[in-house]
Amino acid sequence: MRVIVVGAGVVGTMHAWQAVERGHEVVQIEREAEARGASLRNFGQIWVSGRAGGEELETALRARELWEEIGGRIPGLGFRPNGSLTPVRDDLELAVAEAAVAREDAPARGYKLLTPDEARALNPALRGDFTGALYCERDAAVEPRTAQLALRAELLKSPDYTFLPGREVREVIGHHAVRDDHGDVHSGDAVVLCTGAWLGGLVRELAGPDLPVRRVRLQMMQTDPLGEPLTTSVADADSFRYYPAYDSAALAELNARRPQAETAARHRMQLLMVQRADGGLTIGDTHEYEHPFAFDTLEDPYDHLTEVVESFLGRPLPKIRRRWAGVYAQCTDPSRVVHRQQIRDGVWLVTGPGGRGMTCSPAIAETTAKELGW
């Protein structure tokens, strides 16, 4: 087959990977010189721990297997099975962690409740005060700013793969073909549109105005090197309020008796933190859903995150090296992992994984390949 993939973010690139792996010819078209959206502006976490039970967890676990397999072939992905720790500070937060460990699917996630000493033995950089920690062994990480480049470098070794950057697809022509803004027509046996947060223009024309996908904005930051290993990813108990795996009576009790801090609630925040290959820390994040999005970044969320991180580390945070905002596409139906829609014969739209994109993209692409009979 000849497959046309539109979009070079992580979802699009994983579709190209799946097609090439199956022996097909692939043309991948990207409107930028390189993808510049959510695929780079994220934590690089393969985040199994908080996923909803059922299809979402199954997708994340399969994607985790695929990330490890691909990472073994491509060292530039920076794949590492580092796991995660979510420290808890009091009985209310501890009860939520205990409810998570009691889930039927807890063994599949690698959940374990640790004492403070056990958590510090696993991650000695956590010298602050906490009363316990939820460990998720199946969480992992890659390097988001280089993973795309490493994947593409490997794809370019194949004579069946062509990358066309700096071309915006303007039109779908009949079945199985697209025209770009250079006037060139690219035809094949299947077209897959992996357009990320680009939901207007051609996507609106093809899918209609009622596409069940919304755009979400976030803020994040990265520090100078910590000076020591942060051996696991780290979350705080506000992540319990955000991820569906932690929904329980204990969480309802936490929300009722101790709501989020005002800044965290206003910006819909949680702490997620992962160490980069250079030793710096990627820290976030916020969630903004109302349009139009602000064009500036706000300092209050960064101040809040700094305070939380320093309380876990028991030391000052290294200098902040960079701050940024990003936008991703998220299905409005929380039960759906991704929006996959056939919009014409031979033409598919795959978008809206939300905060699951980096985690689930290999399995999302694998499912597309199976459904399209690649």
Split at pLDDT 50, 70, 90, the class of 39 is confident
Burial of residue 198, with CB atoms counted within 10 A of its CB: 0-12 exposed, 13-18 middle, 19 or more buried:
buried
- Please name which of 282, 284, 293, 280 lies closest in space to residue 239, comparing C-alpha atoms: 284
Secondary element (H or E) of residue 120: helix 116-122
Cβ(324)–Cβ(221) below 8 Å = yes
- Please name which of 185, 157, 189, 158 lies closest in space to residue 170, comparing C-alpha atoms: 185
3-state SS class at 80: strand
Cβ(201)–Cβ(209) below 8 Å = no
Q: What is the pLDDT of residues 180-233, one digit of tens each?
A: 999 999 999 999 999 999 999 999 999 998 999 999 999 999 999 999 999 999
Mean per-residue pLDDT over the chain, rounded: 96
Q: What is the pLDDT of residues 90-123, one digit of tens each?
A: 999 999 999 999 999 999 999 999 999 999 999 9
pLDDT score recorded for residue 2? 97
Q: Which two tokens stand for residue 52?
A: 């909803």
User: How far is CA 217 from each of CA 42, 145, 288, rounded to the nearest angstrom?
Assistant: 12, 18, 5
- Please name which of 220, 238, 197, 216 lies closest in space to residue 298, comparing C-alpha atoms: 220
pLDDT score recorded for residue 165? 97
Cβ(121)–Cβ(131) below 8 Å = no
Q: What CA–CA distance (Å, rounded) separates 282 from 369?
A: 33
% the chain with pLDDT above 70: 100
Q: Which two tokens stand for residue 210?
A: 């009622």
Q: What CA–CA distance (Å, rounded) separates 111 from 88?
A: 14
pLDDT score recorded for residue 40? 86
Split at pLDDT 50, 70, 90, the class of 175 is confident
Is it the case that residue 254 has pLDDT exceeding 90? yes
Residue type, 213: V
Query: First and final CA of the chain: distance in angstroms?
Result: 8
Q: Which two tokens stand for residue 120?
A: 């510090």
pTM summary value: 0.96
Split at pLDDT 50, 70, 90, the class of 174 is confident
Q: Which two tokens stand for residue 107?
A: 């063994």
CATH of 1-80+140-212+335-374, one of 3.30.70.20, 3.50.50.60, 3.90.550.10, 3.40.50.720: 3.50.50.60
Residue type, 298: L
**For range 301-317, the mean pLDDT:** 97
Q: Where are the domains of the chain?
A: 1-80+140-212+335-374, 84-137+213-331
> What is the CATH architecture assignment of 84-137+213-331?
2-Layer Sandwich (3.30)
- Please name which of 301, 226, 320, 238 lies closest in space to residue 271, comparing C-alpha atoms: 238
pLDDT score recorded for residue 260? 97
Question: 185-187 and 177-180 as β-strands: parallel, antiparallel, unpaired?
Answer: antiparallel
Burial of residue 104, with CB atoms counted within 10 A of its CB: 0-12 exposed, 13-18 middle, 19 or more buried:
exposed
> What are residue 362's phi and psi, to 5 degrees?
-60, -40
Question: 132-136 and 111-114 as β-strands: parallel, antiparallel, unpaired?
Answer: antiparallel
Cβ(46)–Cβ(359) below 8 Å = yes
Q: Which two tokens stand for residue 98?
A: 């205990």
Q: Which two tokens stand for residue 8?
A: 């070079």
pLDDT score recorded for residue 213? 96
Tally of helices (H runs) and strands (E runs) in the chain: 12, 19
Is it the case that residue 35 has pLDDT exceeding 90? no
